[in-house]
Each structure stands twice: as C-alpha cells, then as structure tokens.
Amino acid sequence: MSMVRAMIWKEIHSFLHDWKTLATVGMLLLWGLFLLILPNGFGMDIGLATLSMFLVTLVSNTLTWKSFLYERAENALTSVLASPISPAELFLGKTLAVFLFSYLSLLVVAAAACAVGIGTNELPDASSFAMALLAVPVWGLAVTEIMGALCFVLGSFDLVRWLGGGLCLGASGITHAIAGHAQGVWPALAMTAVGLAAAVAVLVLFSKIGKPRLAR
C-alpha cells in the first residue's frame, strides 16, 4: 500500500498547487450548495443523494482529466511507469486521490452548510442518508475508475470529457430513480454492492494491462 499512498500524496499536492483546478472544484461545489439551499433547488426536487452523486462525479470528472491526461502530456507517466510502482497501484492511487478529494470537498461544503444552519430545516430520511454516505462514495469511486481507464485507453481529452459527462448524468439519474422510490436502507445497500463490484472489476481489468502498453 505504500506505493498507493505515495501516489495519493503526489496527486493531492498536485491538485492543491493548481489554482485552476481548485477554482473549478470550488465553483462546482458552490453551485451545488446553491441548489441545496435555494427553496427546492429552483423548483427541482433533486434530493440529497442525487445532488451528492452529481457533484461527486462531476468534480471527479474534472480532477480525472488533471490527474491522468496531464501526466501523459507532461511525459511524467513514462518515468513513473519505469519506477517500482505497478500499473494497478498507479491506477488505484490516482483514482483514490481523485475520489477522496471530490468526496471530502463535498463533505466540507455540506458541513459548512450545516454549520451556518442552511438546508437543515428538514432532515433527509434514512434512505437518503444511506445513499449519500454509502452508495455515492462507492459509485463515485467506480465512475472515477472508469473515467481514469478511459483516459489511459483513449488518451483524448474531448472524448473523455463527453463520456465523463454522460457517466455523471447516468449515475445521477439512476440515483434519482432509486432514491425516489426507496423504502429503508436496502436499495442504498444494493446500489453500494453494485458500485463496489464495478470498482473491483475495473481495477482487476486495469491491472492486466502491462507497462509497455500504458507507456505508449
């Protein structure tokens, strides 16, 4: 795990140094906050789980580009592939860094909103909480992995951006559909299990790719 930790450390430092990335993430989160605090989100009944999923996957999309494609463009990927890190560790480190940064940013904004007493007049039900705290992180991780893998395989920013946008909307749509009809925590647990299976499958598939192919 030391290699994965090293990669997470590097990625987080890289995000923190780039004001453009920080500004983009900040804007996205503020936008989400507005949707949360304005009465019924401009008339849309979005719900906590859907909004969390949308924001986490959207922020991940932005950071995935920064993490995966920028490294290739800078020719840093070739060097890191020649180091002792394995493709699976490299991939997991990157996706975890992207995901942790996205989800922790969201939690910070949510905590700030609660601290100033906005959006707390009506507490979400147990199902929404389970969705936001379990399904959203796991799906966020799976979506980040898929986008990261696409970045490696396709190597094209435009294509990845559009596919990432589609994944983000798709994940949010599924969350909205399930959260709208969910009773209790079981739908959230089922969603979490599906997300976890997807995340593991992508990681296993990625670990089969050899360094020469990734270095191309």
Partner 1 sequence: MSMNNVIEMQGAGKTYPKGKVALHGVDLFVKKGEVVGLIGPNGAGKTTLIKLLLGLLDPTAGSVGLWGQESTKLTRELRQRIGFLLDQRGLYTDLSVEENMHFWAKLYSVNSGKVEASLKEWDLWDVRKDLVKKLSSGMSQRLSIARATLQDPSLVLLDEPTSQLDPLVRVKVLDLIGRLGAKNKTLLVTSHDLAGMERVCTRMILLRKGRIVADGSMSELARHLGVGQQVHIRYRGKIDESLMAEIAAGRNVHAEGSNTLVIGGDTVDTGALVRLLVQHGVDVEKVEEKAQSLEDIYITVVKQDEEEEE
Residues 58-77 that bind partner 1 (CB under 8 A): 70-71, 74-77
Question: Which one-letter amino acid corresponds to residue 72?
Answer: R
Question: How is residue 155 annotated by DSSP?
Answer: -
Nearer Cβ to partner 1, position 54 or 101? Answer: 101
Instruction: Kindly state whether residue 88 participates in binding partner 1, applying the rule CB under 8 A.
Output: no
13 binds partner 1 (CB under 8 A): yes
Cα angle vertex 12, ends 131, 109, to 5°?
45
Task: Give the binding range for partner 1 (CB under 8 A) out of 82-90, 105-113, 114-122, 149-157.
Answer: 82-90
The nearest distance, CB 1 to partner 1, in angstroms, is: 12
Least Å from the CB of residue 2 to partner 1: 7
Q: Is 80 in the site for partner 1 (CB under 8 A)?
A: yes
Distances (CA, A) of 146 to 42, 101, 113, 211: 31, 17, 31, 19
- For partner 1, the closer of residues 13 and 120 by Cβ is 13
Instruction: Compute how many residues bind partner 1; rule: CB under 8 A.
Output: 29
CB of 97 to partner 1, least distance (A): 12
Interactions with partner 1, residue window 116-175 (CB under 8 A): none
Q: Which structure tokens are listed for 116?
A: 């100033």
Supply the DSSP symbol for 39: T
* Distance separating alpha carbons of residues 67 and 96, to the nearest angstrom: 11
CA-closest candidate to residue 206, choices 141, 143, 149 = 149
Report the SS3 class of residue 164.
helix
How far apart CA 203 and CA 107 sit, in angstroms, is 25
Cβ nearer to partner 1, comparing 2 with 183: 2
Min separation Cβ 95 and partner 1, Å:
17
198 binds partner 1 (CB under 8 A): no
Determine contact, residues 99/159, Cβ cutoff 8 Å.
Answer: no
Task: Give the torsion sign (CA, 55, 58, 62, 68).
Answer: positive
Can you tell me which of 22, 113, 194, 215 binds partner 1, judged by CB under 8 A? 215
Q: CA distances (Å), 214 to each of 81, 87, 128, in order?
A: 8, 8, 39
* Residue number, 4 or 36, with CB nearest to partner 1: 4
Instruction: Tell whether residue 18 is a contact of partner 1 (CB under 8 A).
Output: yes
Residues that bind partner 1 (CB under 8 A): 2-3, 5-6, 9-10, 13-14, 17-18, 70-71, 74-86, 210-212, 215
